[in-house]
Amino acid sequence: MNEKIKTGDFVLLYLDDKRKWLIKVEEDKEFHTHKGIVNLSDVINKQWGSTIESTMGVKFALLRPALSDIVVNVSRNTNIIYPKDAGLILLNTRIGPGSLVVESGTGSGAFTTVLAYHVRPTGHVYSYEVRKEFIKTAKKNIERLGLSEFVTFKNENICMGIEERNIDAVVLDMATPWKVVEHAYNALKAGGFFVSYSPTIEQVMRTVVALKKSNGFADLKTVEVFVRDILVRSNKTRPSTRMIGHTGYLTFAKKKIKEN
Amino acid sequence: MNEKIKTGDFVLLYLDDKRKWLIKVEEDKEFHTHKGIVNLSDVINKQWGSTIESTMGVKFALLRPALSDIVVNVSRNTNIIYPKDAGLILLNTRIGPGSLVVESGTGSGAFTTVLAYHVRPTGHVYSYEVRKEFIKTAKKNIERLGLSEFVTFKNENICMGIEERNIDAVVLDMATPWKVVEHAYNALKAGGFFVSYSPTIEQVMRTVVALKKSNGFADLKTVEVFVRDILVRSNKTRPSTRMIGHTGYLTFAKKKIKEN
Amino acid sequence: MNEKIKTGDFVLLYLDDKRKWLIKVEEDKEFHTHKGIVNLSDVINKQWGSTIESTMGVKFALLRPALSDIVVNVSRNTNIIYPKDAGLILLNTRIGPGSLVVESGTGSGAFTTVLAYHVRPTGHVYSYEVRKEFIKTAKKNIERLGLSEFVTFKNENICMGIEERNIDAVVLDMATPWKVVEHAYNALKAGGFFVSYSPTIEQVMRTVVALKKSNGFADLKTVEVFVRDILVRSNKTRPSTRMIGHTGYLTFAKKKIKEN
Amino acid sequence: MNEKIKTGDFVLLYLDDKRKWLIKVEEDKEFHTHKGIVNLSDVINKQWGSTIESTMGVKFALLRPALSDIVVNVSRNTNIIYPKDAGLILLNTRIGPGSLVVESGTGSGAFTTVLAYHVRPTGHVYSYEVRKEFIKTAKKNIERLGLSEFVTFKNENICMGIEERNIDAVVLDMATPWKVVEHAYNALKAGGFFVSYSPTIEQVMRTVVALKKSNGFADLKTVEVFVRDILVRSNKTRPSTRMIGHTGYLTFAKKKIKEN
């Protein structure tokens, strides 16, 4: 129930819609903006939602970031599973407190963050990634968020197999998800969920073919999610001119026991 | 890690994409389909994902339902916050394990289910609803899902005030959300989140006006979410002809401390 | 500048948004509705936009139909190029007064109608269709609209070749558009346009491959068009709950001269 | 049936999807690109669709522009009715060869171009615009396209009235369309069409209120149109990451005779 900002917390430093930054609070650091410098030491022990003055006398709100603020920030410059997609993954599976989840690849740890946050306090995330430098980045991101105990990073190629068993959900964000379908079947417990996130339709096609051929999955469903911003302003309310037209397709399947 | 189906569990009885039903497993009950009768007693102790034969010899898969399967089922015939919207609410706030959430109205308890599932094991949901008969239905739904300990139903009008304090998020799905803005401010802890779900743009406009006037919220954002099904079939892949064009607009805001 | 309704005209008989019908005005005919019978003889010589009383004393407006009202009506029970797609085809080519256009297949003549209407008074439409019964229906539809002189129906398989030369645009709405790419090249004049309308993504892929391989087309572009209805009602403005999620993909290309 | 490019023609100088320019062919002019200079004199008398070499030896295709290429080019830096919207306006009215159309405002003449092109050879466009400098630009654009005889520009405020009578369609792209509803009623012939294009929902609401109050219009319909690009590439087919999320709402209505 901590209502005070402390060292290590992420804060959304907010001036207006176009000028907001996610910063980590550290002693003896400064944050420079066009509206002056904010001394981060001064942020410590302030209440969430209070304001702070920059050296130029401009007031910034110290907002508590949403999970999506963190996710988007973590993932600068890498492909990620966007909040809109991450949310539907939670709903179209049973991933939640206590879940055991396998994911691949880790990337910068954006979706790992979402998973780790939501499987607390008794669940766990096993995150596969072949590129060492990504694991390093993701580990740092997860540590900064205090979620390390819920994640095991594995510098392994998930196409070669999944060691874990009795898993609740396997979530794939990688180039060749179809190569993981049988490994997912073996790793999933009875009643488990398969999820794949792919930018191209050919990836979807190949994955669905593999899921059908496997005979170990049912209730296949592929969707795409769009989000559009609405600008609500007195007498000038309208949707935003630009929007994201595509991130990736989501394919969902439920494990069924193979029969002879 | 229970992998066997037991009395009281919800099962997705699955034949194909158009013939699947969410049923509650009970002894001495039968489920009638066009493809014969399924004896629910026989389902008990079967493995999740296994199949069962109807009296006509047709095999149905006994799938573990996703949270969205349950949500959509719970809500037959009432307006609900759809899975696509519910997912983004989780991501655009910090609602998760341990969160304290106030919602209104309860409706049939569809979104209450999502909240209760995700705030486990240490969080709690306070669900306001003025219509007694809805509370009755919602209570039954939540009980059947084994989530009762995480929900307090309140047969009260949230426009008259919120008794709880130190709340992480207030989520409104009601006709006049703008009347609850100040109550939400008082109920939310520093760093808390305000969410409103409204079918009409006039509701959004009035709510945004109230949020701005309040001076107790920042980082306002209104969005709409679309989901489109993709039919992935050999050589005939295409989006579904029909889709849901609108459910509701989602408005998000972060509490900031009011200043004099 | 005829402002009076005459025999043979199509009229949109309008009561409200859900009760409107496109009817052809004929002497000695009646039109039956739940709100009484309208005597079509009485419609003749009435002004466009005036009202007529049914036998039950209910007033219907006699509206002049838009091109889209006619198109949608013509096409009951067949796949058609929808108004939203037809409009973009006109814009993304130069089809207009005087254009020579080849289309295939004719179907019920819905898009033929659009083309014939817009190439008047000096252009012409050559409409290929292998199924005789469709040509019969389409011919009747085009005749009823008084557009016969602008259309030549051809009961031929366009995959076997296009006889016409010096054509401004070829528009394909058929199962195998990729088989017509070379024929289109030969039929199009320098500066001509190729358009293909396909429900599935595999059709698009094969057509684009053929267009690239041909080396006779440039500036390839594939798009999909969505239209969403907005219900504008006092204090209850919102998008329609349901919408069309997919009709077909549109692929556009411009002829370029092949080089050795 | 001219297949040769001549002085004054617009040509789409095409290298690839991201490097294409609409240029007007003029003698003794050069066009500079990163891939060398193209001498425009050399373009004259070349065939449409042929290629030309720049001074750096790079080949550009000389494509015949679509109407949309011209529209989008004409409208640089002003709000315009986009091709997707312009197309639906043609379909949801009867605007075509011979139509008499009133529009306001002219802007840079982008939609004027579409109208003038499609009402040829016997129709006419009356284009109202209060800002003199816009008329100047639009006039130049229309002249360059050889469509001057089909357009009368009027430097008048349409809110003060429409002088023309017996008009087939009134199309409004202006800040206060609701102020023109009665003028449109008077200008439209029986069976005429009213169209309004507005970026904000408040404009739509006020216009719909005015249309209903007028009692001179029926079959009101408001829609929004989306277009999404699909990138079709071998084994990497996917929708474009970015898309236009909003241009304007389109409101359509049909004139009906007012009754006492």
Give the sign of the dihedral formed by CA A232, CA A238, CA A240, CA A243: positive
Residue B156 lies in a domain: yes
| DSSP SS3 for D180 | helix
CA B13 vs CA B58, B145, B250: distances in Å: 12, 17, 33
CA dist., res. C180 & res. C160, Å (int): 8
Most confident of A197-206, B14-23, C13-22, D9-18: A197-206
d(CA D193, CA D253): 6
Residue ending a domain, choose from A46, A63, A80: A63
Q: What share of chain D is helix, strand, coil (3-state, %, to 5)?
A: 30, 35, 35
pTM of the model: 0.95
Confidence of residue A78 (pLDDT cuts 50, 70, 90): low
Residue C206: closest C-alpha in chain B: B235
Tell me phi and psi for residue B137, to 5 degrees.
-60, -45
Q: What is the DSSP track for A186-201?
A: HHEEEEEEEEEEESSH
Contact A232, B205 (CB under 8 A): yes
Q: Which residues are registered as beta bridge partners of A171? A: A103, A195
pLDDT at position A63, please? 95
Domain count, chain C: 2
A94 and A21 assigned to the same domain: no
Q: What is the pLDDT of residue C1?
A: 43
What is the ipTM for the molecules in this complex? Answer: 0.95
Q: How far is it, in rounded angstroms, from Cα C40 to Cα C55?
A: 12
pLDDT exceeding 70 applies to what percent of chain B? 97
Cα distance between residue A106 and residue D94, in whole Å: 56
Q: What is the mean pLDDT of chain D?
A: 94
pLDDT value, residue C3:
79
Is the backbone of residue C81 left (phi > 0), alpha (psi -120 to 50) or beta? Answer: beta
Question: What pLDDT is recorded for position D1?
Answer: 43
Evaluate whether B230 touches A249 at the Cβ level (below 8 Å).
yes
In a domain, D53, yes or no: yes
CATH number at residue C245: 3.40.50.150
Q: Is A163 helix (H, G, I), strand (E, B) or coil?
A: coil
pLDDT band at residue C73, thresholds of 50, 70 and 90? confident
**Residue A25 has what pLDDT?**
93
- D212 pLDDT tier (thresholds 50, 70, 90): very high
Q: Which of A34, D224, B235, B226 is nearest to C199 (CA)?
A: B235
pLDDT, tens only, C128-163: 999 999 999 999 999 999 999 999 999 999 999 999
| Residue C256 pLDDT exceeds 50 | yes
Three-state DSSP state, D162: coil
Contact C191, D63 (CB under 8 A): yes
Distance of alpha carbon C35 from alpha carbon A231, whole angstroms = 44
Q: Is D12 on the interface with C (CB under 8 A)?
A: yes
| Of A12, A17, A72, the residue nearest A38 (C-alpha) | A12
Chain B residue closest to C229 (CA)?
Answer: B245
DSSP secondary structure letters along C223-238: EEEEEEEEE--TT--E
A245/D237 touch (CB, cutoff 8 Å), yes or no: no
- Please determine, for residue D76, whether its predicted confidence score (pLDDT) is greater than 70: no
The answer to whether residue C222 neighbours chain D at the CB level (below 8 Å) is yes
pLDDT of B2 higher than 60: no
For residue C202, the chain B residues in CB contact (below 8 A) are 235-237
Please check whether residue C168 is in contact with residue C146, taking contact to mean a CB–CB distance below 8 angstroms. Answer: no
Assess if residue A215 is contained within a domain. yes
Please report residues of A whose CB lies closer than 8 A to that of B259: 51
Q: How far is CA D153 from CA A224, D105, D118, D132, in A?
A: 46, 10, 17, 10
A 74-113: CB under 8 A from D: none
Based on the fold, state whether residues D121 and D23 are members of the same structural domain: no
The answer to whether residue C2 scores a pLDDT higher than 60 is no
Give the SS3 label for residue A88. helix
Calpha distance A186→C241 (Å, rounded): 41
- Backbone dihedral region of C235: left (phi > 0), alpha (psi from -120 to 50 degrees) or beta? left
**Pick from B215, B138, B136: nearest CA to B173:** B138
Q: Are residues A130 and A228 in the same domain?
A: yes
CA distances from D110 to A91, B132, C209 (A): 46, 58, 33
As a whole number, mean pLDDT of residues D184-198 equals 96
- Residue A75 sits in the same domain as residue A200: yes
CB contact under 8 A, A92 and B223: no
Of residues B29 and A2, the one with the higher pLDDT is B29
Cβ within 8 Å of residue B138, ≥6 positions away: B106, B107, B108, B109, B112, B127, B129, B153
Contact D201 A243 (CB under 8 A): no
What tokens were used for A89? 């993954």
Please indicate whether, in this complex, the C-beta atoms of A86 and B87 are within 8 angstroms of each other.
yes
For the CA atoms of D46, D49, D52, D56, what is the dihedral angle to 10 degrees? Answer: 170
Residues in chain A closer than 8 A to B84 (CB atoms): 84, 87-88, 91, 225
Measure the CA–CA gap between B227 and B87, rounded to whole angstroms.
Answer: 12
pLDDT at B76: 62
| Residue C154 · residue C125 · CB < 8 Å | no
Q: Span A47-75, mean pLDDT?
A: 92
**How do residues C194-224 score in pLDDT, each as one tens digit?**
999 999 999 999 999 999 999 999 999 999 9
Task: Name the residue type at position D213.
Answer: K
Give A185's contacts (C-beta < 8 A, 6+ positions apart).
Answer: A214, A216, A217, A255, A258
Same domain, residue pair A141 and A45: no
Q: pLDDT tens for residues A98-157? A: 999 999 999 999 999 999 999 999 999 999 999 999 999 999 999 999 999 999 999 999
Q: Do D26 and D74 share a structural domain?
A: no
Give the residue from D99, D139, D90 showing the smallest Cα distance to D121.
D99
> Of C49, C43, C83, which is closest to residue C64 (Cα–Cα)?
C49
CA dist A139 and D65 (Å) reads 53
Distance CA C213, CA A122 (A): 57
Residue B24's domain comprises: 10-63
B17 band by pLDDT with thresholds 50, 70 and 90:
confident
- Expressed in angstroms, the distance from the first to the final Cα of chain A is 54
Q: Is pLDDT of A1 > 50? A: no
- Residue B221: inside a domain: yes
Q: Which of A63, A84, A99 is the last residue of a domain?
A: A63
Euclidean distance between CA atoms A35 and A38, whole angstroms: 9
In a domain, B48, yes or no: yes
Residues D42 and D153 in one domain: no
Within 45-74 of D, beta carbons closer than 8 Å to C belong to 47-51, 61, 63-64, 66-68, 71
> Any bridge partners for residue A230, and if so which?
A239, B222
Residue B100 CB neighbours (<10 A): 22
Please report, for residues B68, C68, D182, the alpha-carbon distance to residue C3 in angstroms, rounded to integers and kept in the order given.
56, 20, 19
Query: Is pLDDT of D58 > 70?
Result: yes
Buried/exposed code over C117-126 (b: 16+ C-beta within 10 A; e: otherwise): bbbbeebbbb
The pLDDT, as a whole number, for residue B1 is 43
Q: Is the pLDDT of residue D2 over 60?
A: no
pLDDT of residue A77: 61
- Of B22, B77, B73, B31, nearest in space to B54 by CA: B31
Residue B240's closest CA among B11, B57, B17, B73? B17
Residues B20 and B100 in one domain: no
The per-residue pLDDT for range D87-129, each reduced to its tens digit, is: 999 999 999 999 999 999 999 999 999 999 999 999 999 999 9
Asked if B209 is an interface residue toward chain A (Cβ–Cβ < 8 A), one would say yes
Q: Are residues C114 and C141 in the same domain?
A: yes
Interface touch A91/B68, C-beta < 8 Å: yes
State how far the alpha carbon of B65 is from the alpha carbons of A219, B33, D173, D206, in Å. Answer: 10, 19, 50, 47
**Secondary structure letter of residue C138 according to DSSP:** H
Place of tokens 């050399």: D42
Does residue D53 surpass a pLDDT of 80? Answer: yes
- One domain for residues D219 and D232: yes
Whether residue C227 lies within 8 A of chain B, CB to CB, comes out as: no
Neighbours of chain A (3+ CB pairs under 8 A): B, D
A92 by DSSP, 3-state: which?
coil
Alpha helices, H only, B22-156? 67-74, 83-91, 110-119, 132-144
Q: Is residue A167 part of a domain?
A: yes
- Region D177-182: mean pLDDT is 98
Of A202, A237, A241, the CB nearest to D200: A237
CATH number, domain with residue B38: 3.10.330.20
Round to whole Å and give the CA distance between D160 and D101: 18
**Interacting residues of B136 by C-beta distance below 8 A, sequence separation 6+:** none
pLDDT at B74: 77
Which is more confidently placed, B8 or B203? B203
Among B63, B84, B106, the domain-final residue is B63
Portion of chain C with pLDDT greater than 70, in percent = 97
Q: Is D3 on the interface with A (CB under 8 A)?
A: no
Same domain, A145 and A242: yes
And the tokens for D130? Answer: 């209060």
Q: Could you say which DSSP state residue A47 is in?
A: B
pLDDT band at C78 (very low <50, low <70, confident <90, very high): low
A245–D235: do the CB atoms touch at under 8 Å? Answer: no
Which two structure tokens, joined as six digits, stand for A132?
A: 């060492």
Phi and psi based region of residue A246 (left: phi greater than 0; alpha: psi -120 to 50; beta: remaining): beta
Chains that touch D (3 or more CB pairs under 8 A): A, C
- Is residue A41 located within the same domain as residue A78? no
Instruction: Tell me the Cα Rg of chain C.
Output: 21
Tell whether A5 is covered by a domain: no
Contacts with D, C 20-49, CB within 8 Å: 20, 47-49
Q: What is the pLDDT of residues B37-96, one digit of tens each?
A: 999 999 999 999 999 999 999 999 999 999 999 988 877 666 789 999 999 999 999 999
Least CB–CB distance from D223: residue in C61, C219, C228? C228
* H helix and E strand count, chain C: 6, 15
